[in-house]
Structure 1
């Protein structure tokens, strides 16, 4: 108790210090590239893109999922603490229909999309998260039916060392480190973090470890970026997959090289490996056990050229290879290649027009064509209209195709999913401190993959569902009444077609939120102390609504920076996955030590 009092006292003691320059950038200087072949501001973007700044008061957030929960069109369906088994969906699409990228490179897991957020990069290294609402297959390929999340890593501004440690509820113990070097022609970021917890209930303990190194340098070839990362996650999976006290351990490795040869041409290559060991009964290691190892390779050549004034052409060629060796799924592999082209006309202050197409070819002779169209038009009174039409698709994971146990059966005859997405809306920017937007969207899916059954006595079967569609509206308002205060409110409403089930029970597709409201209020109450409040109310299909309130108080300047993170202050009992309880009220507190050296010009 004395320790908590000292922590809070240290945070509040800085409140009387003199105020500095505005803490938050205005929306018109925020640049996004997700969903567009060229960099554009949020005002000029024809697509609904939310950019989440992970370097603004980073001690106020515990994990990646905390940032994503501030977007009402994003639904996180999490099974455990510490980011364990967190599924992500956008605009009602299933968790397998959201593509996750790191620095523009694919991270989706070929075994099962349950591991798409098993990102091996420490939280300290993330600069921002860009979230695209709606299809993105024209630019990004498979899995981008409902949306795309691109996690961008930080480029260091100085040479520094950051050390963090904290403790909290349920045996929480966390440490993190980041060491950066910033020189004139090169920089390097070495980082690692780990987190332990005994769990808020029996069989829900976990241990996570992440480490990465990213080297950037300039040479006669141009700008190079080399990223190497890995993670190790062991966790109690009690009730995750049914009435069993299960246990699981996953590991991930990721290596990527991006070479920018000139302002127009970029070449990238990456390798990712993920392993998964699963025990049905934790206390019976010689009982039912699965072990999977999957490998993925990606190579891409991208080019962007100005053809005429305000007209840009972006083209690219990509190749992807996935392989798996599994005690349950067997040995399988697949290859696919793609080419795309997108032409974009953009005249700031007047509007934009984008037209693009992608052809993806699979080994065996199959192919998918994914066109897209988007446009904006500026009206008087700082108002803009935006609209888009696009086609998205997803190929089944290896688990969808080949998994088999007494409770779940895959289907090797599954067809790829596809969907047409339509959206249109209006945005208003009356002044730099205020933005408002409302968008209506409609998605019609074909061959949606879900696990269904006739009754609880039957196993789940992977199958294609016809005629799944979602209609919805998303609205948001961002208000910055003072230079050091920001309030963001968003709400998304969804209506889905249930007729596709034909009386069957659904495991995943129809667990979507029909109402999701989010409020984020950030106050810099002094030159050093930031108070962050996140409040959400969510109602899932055929479920009762529930509210969750999180608050963080952090010192963001100075050599020693204490922090206090308070989660689920409402002590709400809720489930994001059916029959998987989420943690009650919890607290984590600690401090960060920052040692910094000014950037050298040598």
Structure 2
């Protein structure tokens, strides 16, 4: 694929960027809009009162909860107030309100202090980042799609895909990155350290428990994106303040069974307990164990059995000044199958996350966010070889432990200038043990106990100005800096800069942006150990370290929203971005003949260039949404970044009617990509092309009530055409399911 087309698009975007400053000389009116919903049920609230205190203007929300206020100018220190009978009044400083965002009103029965309701907006690190491309998947979309496979939720997001299986994990890639170059957060906890390759396994996150999933793209995310050359996935789990009980079951292909329970229980007017549990079992007959060579003739293995458990427990205590929270997350995997020569293979995985946090005002200091996290990952793989008179066993055990403390503070200067500061401490431990039992005798092949301490400090300063005193055009400049310090004495600076222009008109908004910067990715403890020693015991950070990988990346993009003021169409959203990322010191790992031997070289350098875009027609005829997305990628060395399609396209239709019925149809296409497979038995690396393919997902459901019980019945099919042709990944195989949920 020729990159000249990317350059042409970049020039067009640059011209579009400059033209924005030549808009009519007469300042037009500005539009403030959003949606009002019930925090517990997420249903839109019709007739809610919305007004600005100082400007003394107001309106009410429509049948879908949407509102729009026309303003001639923004009053300094104005306050947005939203009220509805039976709900707690919502108040927020106008400068803190993100235009076109959703406002969730809490029922008065919980009687929580007003100040608690607006804290989350003030300390949202996503909103404080360098300008970047961002996509959001909300609870309503997740419910309509209906999939228990989290990878299905990414099919319609430009430049994003998920690959893997139960053993390798569901691993996300953004803009052609490898999975270890994407940071994944769950309720503020970075979960990458649970995996051996520092790649987050999305299996830790059950889809039924997701409230919102944000995808932040690009390498220049100062606050959340340390080492994330592709971007960040930020997941917020559900947290209801209403007493409720949810029971759900799903039954599907591959003898799949899901059993789900969720309990929300307010113990008092300030203390709320939430529990979510899920058990799933599947017999994925087409999955492969790591190391088995891809064989196009091998399609079934009926001996595969996989069982998973997810447990999430949250306690939230609300005060008049903020929120205290404690969370526990658990993920358990039990995987068994027979190898190609009918020998037992097993994998046992246990992931645990503990988190304590405070958000709000503390000791007279406003806008504080303090978090203490502990993560434990335990992964053991067993290979048995049954022989006459006994059996031999090969075991590969990996355990990771991380303690992470984070403090963030936001400072406001004037009406629109702000500085977000972040400080973090990481203590990482890794223990790996490779051993085997032969003829009843135990042998240690490789053993390592490693640890490391690292400190990070980051900040983003944002300065906002009106263009030529035009209240409808705002120019915002962002400066970011991150400093990572390792206790060996090494420290690394990563500066970033971004500019965004926001043009707000009566019927449309226009927001071009650009960013450029540097990012640093540290090699994992195991990679550093393998570089120095073939057998390690009690090693720490005094080892000779590999150089960190570096990224120099730039991006230019634009977002446009048009409101036709018509009952037939609520609005149109358009996004376009061109990006380029150069990675230096890329670690190339070449396995030797034997577990003890490793050859590593930091000779890798790669340039990834790309173009992505999407357009969404929202609330067509009040009930329909239509979304189209496209991605083009040009990766210089596919051997460094395998399994990355050169192009991706998707079309999605969503319908949700007032009568309770809903429907979803998704068409997606993945272009040609290069596969690189290691045969663990022969130590041979093979490379071959994966042909393009397309497929379709469909879901159909009906929501209704029986007395006080809300029921949701759904039937769905994924990868219906079964066109993938590459059988290593279950994620792309044909799958059907039915589900029934009951909530009281």
Structure 2 length normalisation: TM-score? 0.68
Counterparts of 1:193 and 1:168, CA distance in 2: 16
1:376-525 alignment to 2 at 5 Å? 376-378=500-502, 382-402=509-529, 414-431=546-563, 433-452=571-590, 461-480=599-618, 481-498=620-637, 506=639, 509-525=641-657
Q: Matched residues in 1 for 2:243 and 2:487: separation?
A: 47
- Tell me: CA distance 1:368–1:555, structure 2 relative to 1, closer, same or farther (3 Å): farther
**Counterparts of 1:399 and 1:573 in 2: how far apart (Å)?**
34
SS at structure 1 position matched to 2:457? strand
Find the partner of 1:274 among 349, 370, 377: 377
CA distance in structure 2 between the partners assigned to 1:41 and 1:31 by the alignment: 15
The more displaced of 481-490 and 94-103 is 481-490
> Which segments of 5 or more consecutive residues in structure 1 lack a partner in the other structure?
1-19, 405-410, 596-602
Pair 1:552-2:658 in alignment: no
Please state whether the residue corresponding to 1:62 is helix, strand or coil. coil
Alignment of 1:160 onto 2:244 = yes
Structure 1 299/311 Cα, relative in aligned 2: closer, same or farther at 3 Å? same
Kept in 1: contact 2:615–2:627 (CA 8 A): yes
SS of the residue corresponding to residue 89 of structure 1 reads strand
1:573–1:582 CA contact under 8 A, matched in 2: no
Q: Indicate the structure (1 or 2) with the bigger Cα radius of gyration.
A: 2
C-alpha distance in structure 1 between counterparts of 2:123 and 2:736, whole Å: 42
Structure ranking higher on relative contact order (CA contacts 8 Å, 6+ apart) = 1
Equivalent pairs counted in the alignment come to 554
Residue 24 (structure 1) shift? 9.1
Query: Per-residue CA shift, 1:480-524, capped at 9, x if unaligned?
Result: 2232211111111110112xx8xxxx3x62321210112221111
Evaluate the alpha carbon distance shift between residue 115 and residue 38 of structure 1 in structure 2; reply closer, same or farther with a 3 A threshold.
Answer: closer
Instruction: Indicate which of 296, 301, 323 corresponds to 1:223.
Output: 323
CA contact (8 A) 1:52 1:67 kept: yes
Partner of residue 250, structure 1: 349
Task: Check 1:84–1:468 CA distance in 2 against 1; reply closer, same or farther (3 A cut).
Answer: closer
Q: What is the CA–CA distance in structure 2 between the aligned matches of 1:401 and 1:555, rounded to whole Å?
A: 53
Q: In the alignment, which of 254, 279, 289 is matched to residue 194 of structure 1?
A: 279
**How far apart are the structure 2 equivalents of 1:239 and 1:143?**
36
Q: 1:204 to 1:396 in 2, by over 3 A?
A: farther
Query: Per-residue deviation at 1:528?
Result: 1.0
Task: Output aligned runs, 1:23-38, within 5 Å.
Answer: 29-30=100-101
1:288-307 Cα offsets, whole Å, 9 max, x none, are: 21111110111011100112
Structure 1 counterpart SS, 2:516: strand
Instruction: Give the C-alpha shift of residue 566 in structure 1.
Output: 0.8
Q: Is the 8 A contact 2:158 2:629 kept in 1?
A: yes
Residue 455 of structure 2 corresponds to 337
Alignment gaps of 5+ in structure 2: 1-61, 69-97, 104-117, 286-299, 435-446, 466-471, 532-542, 564-569, 675-688
- Paired with 1:397 and 1:25, the residues of 2 have a C-alpha distance of 49
Please name the residue that 2:428 is paired with.
322
Give the Cα separation in 2 of the matches to 1:277 and 1:513.
Answer: 32
CA gap 1:483/1:113 in 2 versus in 1, 3 angstroms: farther
Contact persistence 1:246–1:282 (CA under 8 A): no
State the distance in 2 between where 1:283 and 1:85 align.
28
SS of the equivalent of 2:663 reads: strand
Deviation, 1:586, is: 1.9
Secondary structure, aligned partner of 2:455: strand
Give the direction of change, closer, same or farther, for the CA distance of 1:494–1:313 in structure 2 (3 Å limit). same
Aligned partners of 1:47 and 1:133 also within 8 Å: yes
Matched, 1:364 2:488: yes
Indicate how the Cα distance of structure 1 residues 582 and 439 shifts in structure 2: closer, same or farther if over 3 A, else same. Answer: closer
**CA drift at 1:37:** 9.0
Deviation string 1:304-348 (CA, Å, 9 cap, x unpaired) is: 011222001111211011101221351000110011121112467
- Tell me: CA distance 1:178–1:382, structure 2 relative to 1, closer, same or farther (3 Å): same
Contact 1:120 1:231 in 2 (8 A): yes
- How many Å apart are 1:264 and its aligned residue? 1.4
Q: Secondary structure at the match of 1:144?
A: coil
Residue 465 of structure 1: how far off its partner (Å): 3.6
Q: Which moved more, 1:293-302 or 1:118-127?
A: 118-127
- Contact 1:161 1:594 (8 Å CA) reproduced: yes
Is 1:126 the counterpart of 2:210? The answer is: yes
Partner of 2:48: none
The yes-or-no answer on 1:72 pairing with 2:158 is yes
Per-residue CA deviation, residues 76-135 of structure 1 (Å, 9 max, x unaligned), is 11234xx96112111011111000111222111255247512554543322111111012
> Deviation of residue 21 (structure 1)?
3.7
- Using the TM superposition, give the Cα deviation of residue 373 of structure 1 relative to its aligned residue in structure 2, in angstroms: 1.1
What TM-score comes out, normalization by structure 1 length? Answer: 0.83
CA RMSD of superposed structures (Å):
3.5
Q: Which residue of 2 aligns with 1:104?
A: 188
Asked if 2 retains the 8 angstrom alpha-carbon contact of 1:359 and 1:370, the reply is: yes
Does 2:282 match 1:179?
no
Deviation at 1:587, TM superposition (A): 1.1
Report SS of the residue matched to 1:124.
Answer: helix
How many Å apart are 1:243 and its aligned residue?
12
The aligned counterpart of 2:308 is 208
Q: CA separation of 1:185/1:581 partners in 2, compared to 1, >3 Å: closer, same or farther?
A: closer
The alpha-carbon deviation at position 67 of structure 1 amounts to: 1.6
Query: How far is the alpha carbon of 1:534 from its aligned partner?
Result: 2.0
Q: Does residue 410 of structure 2 align to residue 304 of structure 1? A: yes
State the alpha-carbon separation in 1 of the partners of residues 147 and 140 from structure 2.
10
**Residues 308 and 165 of structure 1, relative CA distance in 2, 3 Å threshold:** same
- Distance (whole Å) between structure 1 residues aligned to residue 188 and residue 628 of structure 2: 28
- Matched-pair contact (CA < 8 Å) for 2:273–2:315: yes
2:739 alignment partner in structure 1: 590
Determine if contact 1:69/1:75 at 8 Å carries over to the other structure.
yes
In structure 2, which of residues 703, 710, 714 is the aligned counterpart of residue 563 of structure 1?
Answer: 714
1:363, 1:273 → 2: CA distance?
22
Q: Distance in 1 between matches of 2:66 and 2:336?
A: 40
Distance in 1, Cα, partners of 2:575 & 2:372: 37
Instruction: State the Cα distance separating 1:225 from its structure 2 match.
Output: 1.5
Cα distance in structure 2, aligned partners of 1:49 and 1:591: 32
- Kindly indicate whether the alpha-carbon contact (under 8 Å) linking 1:372 and 1:389 is maintained by their aligned counterparts in 2: yes
CA contact (8 A) 1:239 1:580 kept: no
